[in-house]
Amino acid sequence: MKKMGIAALYRKPRLSKPHPDHKVYSYLLRGLEISRANHVWATDITYIPMARGFCYLVAIMDWASRKVMAWRLSNTLDASFCTEALEEAIQKYGTPDIFNTDQGSQFTSDAFIGILENHGIDISMDGKGRWLDNVFVERLWRSVKYEDVYLKGYSSIAEARQGLKEYFEFYNHRRRHQSLDRRTPDDVYWSTLPQMQVAA
């Protein structure tokens, strides 16, 4: 297989592997009350299996409302699909006070950190191996996979992109959350967004 350049397709461990030369930031959310939109955003990457091969999904989420602000699919783990999602979220919804990520190289890259710093956003990072520090995005991944990906078995990235577009529209606008008093992420987001930002 090595001589022929053939590699097995399987789930790769540690999708967000730290880069030894990148700066790691402190976790800022411990004990913080987060009850309004655009106070804290968070992101993560997950693995999406397909009938042939796999791809990676990144999503930007508003912590208080669970609203998915933007997302991207990629067949590689470089930082570009993460920065594209971040730029789209900022363009559509403004900026959060704090942005939380894990310590993966995509999120500690100069390109990703530069966008946050240029917009004056405070940077927070999970502790090493502490998935609970970003628990709401982890719950999103479970919902995406069990309510959409595993049921549909996408055969290509193009098919996955269209299917996930429909799913995230449903998730934001119609899927009610028990933890949000049976409200949708979209309803909570717009009702808790500071009036100054609504007017803008």
Q: Is the pLDDT assigned to residue 12 strictly greater than 90?
A: no
Quickly list DSSP for the chain: -TTTT-----PPS-SSPPPTTS--PPP--TT----STTSEEEEEEEEEE-SSSEEEEEEEEETTT--EEEEEEESS-SSHHHHHHHHHHHHHH---SEEEE-S-HHHHSHHHHHHHHHTT-EEEEPPTT-GGGGHHHHHHHHHHIIIIIHHH--SSHHHHHHHHHHHHHHHHHT--BGGGTTB-HHHHHHHHS-HHHHH-
**In whole angstroms, what is the distance from residue 114 CA to residue 127 CA?**
21
Look up residue 37 and give its amino acid.
A
Q: Is the pLDDT assigned to residue 153 strictly greater than 80?
A: yes
Q: Is the pLDDT assigned to residue 196 strictly greater than 70?
A: no
CATH architecture of structural domain 52-173: 2-Layer Sandwich (3.30)
- Contact by Cβ (8 Å): 98, 80: no
pLDDT band at 63 (very low <50, low <70, confident <90, very high): very high
Q: Is the pLDDT assigned to residue 167 strictly greater than 60?
A: yes
Domain ranges of the chain: 52-173
**What confidence score (pLDDT) does residue 135 get?**
83
What would the mean pLDDT of 153-163 be, rounded to a whole number? Answer: 95
**What confidence score (pLDDT) does residue 126 get?**
78
pLDDT band at 199 (very low <50, low <70, confident <90, very high): very low
Which residue is listed with tokens 């996408």? 154
Look up residue 27 and give its amino acid.
Y
Percent with pLDDT over 70 in the chain: 82
What would the mean pLDDT of 183-200 be, rounded to a whole number? Answer: 81
Q: What is the pLDDT of residues 41-54, one digit of tens each?
A: 999 999 999 988 89
